Each structure stands twice: as structure tokens, then as C-alpha cells.
A and B are shown apart, each in its own frame.
Chain A
Amino acid sequence: MSCTVRIPSPLRSYTAGAATVPAEGATLDEVLASLEQRFAGIRFRMVDEQSRIRRHIRMYVNTDEVTALSQPVRSRDVVHVICALSGG
């Protein structure tokens, strides 16, 4: 299944500057694996070694925030990766 992933600026060094990239997968986990295959290293910056979404990363499928990598992703869904930062 093909979806679209919106890449925030801190991660665009991995995508050659692309803000939106296509990805494959029936779950968020599979979508991230698909990204990792194309853009080596990108997953570990978002997800830790225990498969937890990192503390200052938020992920949405369309407009719904998701916290589990098992979240289903359907064809033509948009996955948003958001970096949450405050202060200096």
C-alpha cells in the first residue's frame, strides 16, 4: 500500500531536501521500514531501540495522532512526522 510521508525540516538531510516522500506499508512500522530502506539512518532518529517513538517526535496518520507503530496505514493516507521543540 502506498502512502505519503511529510518529512519535517530536521530530517530532510536524509531525503535530499524532499519535504514529502512516498512510502509503502500497511502499518506505521512498515512505512518507517520502507523509509529506512531508502534513507538509511532516518528511523533511529525518530524511533528508539525499543521501538518507541522518541519523546519530541509526534506522528499523525492523516489528522489523528498515533502512538503505536502497529497503527494501520491505508493507501493514500498521509503520515505526518512532527518535531516538537520549545525554548532556545
Chain B
Amino acid sequence: MTTALWIGTRKGAFMLRPAARRRAWKLSGPQFLGHIIHHVVQDPRAPKVVLIAAKTGHLGPTVYRSSDGGRTWREAAQPPAFRKASDGAQARAVERVFWLTPGHSSERGTWYAGTAPAGLFRSEDGGERWQPVAGFNDHALRPKWFPGNGTPDGELTHSINIDPRDPKRLYIATSPGGVFESTDGGADWAPLNEGCAADFLPDPNALYGHDPHCVAVHPRAPDRLYQQNHCGIYRLDRPERRWVRIGRAMPKQVGDIGFPIVLHPADPQTAWVLPMDGQTVWPRTSIAGKPAVYRTSDGGKSWRRCDRGLPQSQAWLTVLRQAMCTDGRTPRLGIYFGTTGGEVWAGANDGESWRCIGRHLPEIYSVTHAV
């Protein structure tokens, strides 16, 4: 199986491919130079198909689609857009397409997109035409869930997860807003945030308003969910509704704040996070300038520091929520992350030892695996 990485950046999309034995990596691109690329996602159901979420500094947001592995691209005929507001209603417009997720394996051609401001969109024709998911975008409780209180990048809908056993069970997250679940294909939604801290809210037991940074459903054990939240790392085993803060087992001096969380493709007990500084004014850089990935192999009961090969001091990395992935190659899984400083790092053997495989790139927004 050939491995490659799609790199989405603030200035375009790039690809990294390994040369012989993955000792050296070759960078190609940019494609869409100057475009803001939030996500590049390959379709596992049809690997030649790749979707890109793009906009520029001036122009409205859109989606591009390739059906030849990224050699040529065509813009969506109908990009994600909210419905036209009736008189007096709140008139929302998509500012950016932030997240892309292929639909259920039984629904070829179906894709989901998450946007800012908070919005969920669905395409049933491979990303050509996008329709609003009205059950979420126009939910009666939306004004309570997403009051539009003006975070710097707006409310972001992301972490769109589809239960591999049931295409109608969806989990999504909105920052801020919380985790939401639908069991009817998106017609109705309910918050799923019990147990999650929200230190910034007046009500410690709030049902929504939380800030999930990244949520992942395990593909082989879909009742197991992991979450990296603004306030900790969590695990949820359905049908339970209460998240358990597994980040409590992280070293106190490191804490359990960060953006991405990635899961082992086969072992539901194993996950990786990349802690960042969430103290005072939220620097969101590696703790004390010493970047490290942490791995749990027991569902969050304990965490192992993996920093061999990473800089040992004065390295103030920030890694965003889409910018970490695995290559799916077991055993000896490869873990990858990209930094806002334009470096790509590869962690061999389940993330045990790291080396930089790409540098001098623009600010990295996403790192995704392609075959």
C-alpha cells in the first residue's frame, strides 16, 4: 500500500510522498497556491476521489473535487450555503468550509461538510451539489446552542463521525457549542456533553456550550468515542451519555489540553494526543517549549510520553485539530502531524520516534493520509 500525506495550508495544498523505505519524503505542489485550504480528504470508498475545502482572503468559500487522485480539480456546482433567510430571520452565510467527511460506506457519493458559522451540509453526488442539513442548521434550539458570541474564528462545525454500523447515527462537534448526536440521519439532534468540563461557562453542569476540539469514533468499536476538548481529554462508551475525563491521568505539569486526537485503526484502547499550553491567555504552544506526543494503550488509564527525535527545548509548536493523522498501516503504525510553523513530523512505530519530513511550508491546517 502506498502512503501519501495531503497537507492543507493557509496558502495552498501540498502532498508528501515517501521515497524508498520512507527514509526521505518528496514534496509536491502547491496546488491552489494562495488559497486557504482547511481540509483535504480522500474518499476511502473511491480512492481516486479527493475533496478540498477552500477559500481565499477575498472570495467566498467553496469545495473542489478531483476524480483522478488530485491531478485535476473541478469546483462544486453548488458549494455549501445556508438557505435564503425569510424576512426578519437571521441571515447566515457560510464563511468557510472547515471540515469534510466521507459518508457511510453503504452510501457511495455521500459526503458531509462542517462550516463556520456552525453548519452541517450533505452532498449525495460526490461533492458536486451540497444541501443544508436543516435538522441541524435550523434546529429550534439552535439560538441557545450557538448564540453567536463571537469567538475569533467563528463557531466551527467539525469532527463529523458516522457510525459504521448505521448511517443514520451521526456525531458532530461545534466549537463552541458542544458534541451533538443524531440517530435519524440528521433530522433531529441532541447535545451529548455530560461529564465534560466547560470552565468558561457559569454553569458547571451545562448541557451545551462546551468546546470540543476534536471528537473521533473508533472505526472497529463504534461505541467507543474519544474527545480532545478545550477542557480536557475524554472517553465515552455508549450507550453511556457521560464522558469520563481520561486526561486526569496525564502528568500534572503537562495537563490535558490540545487540539487533535487520533485513534489506532484497529485497537480501541490506543489513541494519541499532542498537549498544548492552555494556561492563562491560552498560548496553545507545546508545553514549556518541549513538544511531545502522548499515547495511551489502555483507553486512557495511563499515558506514555513520546518525544524521541522531537526538539528538546525552545520549540513552540502549535498543531491544529485536522493536522494529525495515522497512516493506517499496522503493525508499526505511522503517526504524522503538521505545525502552524510549516513543519511536518513523522512518528515511526506507533509514534515512538520522530523526525521532520517536511519544512518551510505555510501555516498547516490539515494533515490527512491518502493511499
Q: Which residues of A contact B (CB under 8 A)?
A: 10-11, 40-41, 44-52, 54, 56-57, 83-85
Interface of A is mostly: loop
Interface pairs (18), CB distance under 8 Å: A10-B59, A41-B76, A45-B60, A46-B60, A48-B93, A49-B82, A49-B83, A50-B82, A50-B84, A50-B92, A50-B93, A51-B84, A52-B93, A56-B57, A57-B58, A83-B57, A83-B58, A83-B59
Q: Which of A41, A49, A51, A57 contacts B94 (CB 8 A)?
A: A49
Query: What residues on A are CB-neighbors of B62 within 8 Å?
Result: 41, 44-45
Q: Verify B60–A85 contact, CB threshold 8 A.
A: no
B75 close to chain A: CB less than 8 A? yes
Query: What residues on B are CB-neighbors of A83 within 8 Å?
Result: 57-59
Instruction: Return the CB mask of B3-37 against A: 1 if under 8 Å, else 0.
Output: 00000000000000000000000000000000000
B91 close to chain A: CB less than 8 A? yes
Most buried by A among B59, B82, B84: B59
CB contact list, B56-93 vs A, under 8 A: 56-60, 62, 75-77, 79, 81-85, 91-93
For the complex formed, measure the closest distance between the CB of A62 and the CB atoms of chain B, giving whole angstroms: 22
Q: Which of A10, A44, A46 contacts B81 (CB 8 A)?
A: A44
For the complex formed, measure the closest distance between the CB of A60 and the CB atoms of chain B, giving whole angstroms: 15
Query: What residues on A are CB-neighbors of B83 within 8 Å?
Result: 49
Cα separation A44 to B56 with both chains bound (whole Å): 13
Query: What residues on B are CB-neighbors of A52 within 8 Å?
Result: 91, 93
Chain B interface residue bracket vs A: 10 to 19
Q: Which of A40, A51, A54 contacts B60 (CB 8 A)?
A: A54
For the complex formed, measure the closest distance between the CB of B266 and the CB atoms of chain A, giving whole angstroms: 41
Interface of B is mostly: loop
Cα separation A54 to B81 with both chains bound (whole Å): 13
Q: Which of B58, B60, B82, B85 contacts A44 (CB 8 A)?
A: B60
Most buried by B among A47, A52, A54, A85: A54
Nearest-CB residue, chain A, relative to B59:
A45
Nearest-CB residue, chain B, relative to A86:
B57
Q: Verify A50–B58 contact, CB threshold 8 A.
A: no
Query: What residues on A are CB-neighbors of B60 within 8 Å?
Result: 44-48, 54
Nearest-CB residue, chain A, relative to B55:
A45
Q: Verify B58–A85 contact, CB threshold 8 A.
A: yes
Query: What residues on A are CB-neighbors of B81 within 8 Å?
Result: 44, 48-49
Most buried by B among A44, A47, A54, A83: A44
Q: Verify A10–B79 contact, CB threshold 8 A.
A: no
Query: What residues on A are CB-neighbors of B79 within 8 Å?
Result: 41, 44
Cα separation A52 to B59 with both chains bound (whole Å): 13
Query: What residues on B are CB-neighbors of A50 within 8 Å?
Result: 82, 84-85, 91-93
Nearest-CB residue, chain A, relative to B78:
A44
CB contact list, B85-112 vs A, under 8 A: 85, 91-94
Cα separation A59 to B77 with both chains bound (whole Å): 24
Q: Verify A10–B77 contact, CB threshold 8 A.
A: no
Q: Verify A10–B75 contact, CB threshold 8 A.
A: no
Q: Verify A84–B85 contact, CB threshold 8 A.
A: no
For the complex formed, measure the closest distance between the CB of A13 and the CB atoms of chain B, giving whole angstroms: 9
Q: Verify A85–B57 contact, CB threshold 8 A.
A: yes
Most buried by A among B58, B82, B94: B58
Q: Verify A41–B77 contact, CB threshold 8 A.
A: yes
Query: What residues on B are CB-neighbors of A51 within 8 Å?
Result: 84
Query: What residues on A are CB-neighbors of B85 within 8 Å?
Result: 50
Nearest-CB residue, chain B, relative to A47:
B60
Query: What residues on B are CB-neighbors of A47 within 8 Å?
Result: 60
Using known A-B contacts A48-B93, A49-B84, A52-B93, determine if residue A40 contacts B58 with beta carbons closer than 8 Å: no
Nearest-CB residue, chain A, relative to B35:
A10
Q: Verify A49–B93 contact, CB threshold 8 A.
A: yes
Q: Which of B58, B93, B94 contacts A84 (CB 8 A)?
A: B58
Cα separation A49 to B56 with both chains bound (whole Å): 17
Query: What residues on A are CB-neighbors of B57 within 8 Å?
Result: 56, 83, 85
Query: What residues on B are CB-neighbors of A48 within 8 Å?
Result: 60, 81, 93-94
Nearest-CB residue, chain A, relative to B362:
A88
Please name the 9 residue pairs, one residue from A and one from B, whose CB atoms are nearest each other, closest first.
A48-B93, A49-B81, A83-B58, A45-B59, A50-B91, A56-B58, A45-B60, A85-B57, A41-B75
Query: What residues on B are CB-neighbors of A56 within 8 Å?
Result: 57-58
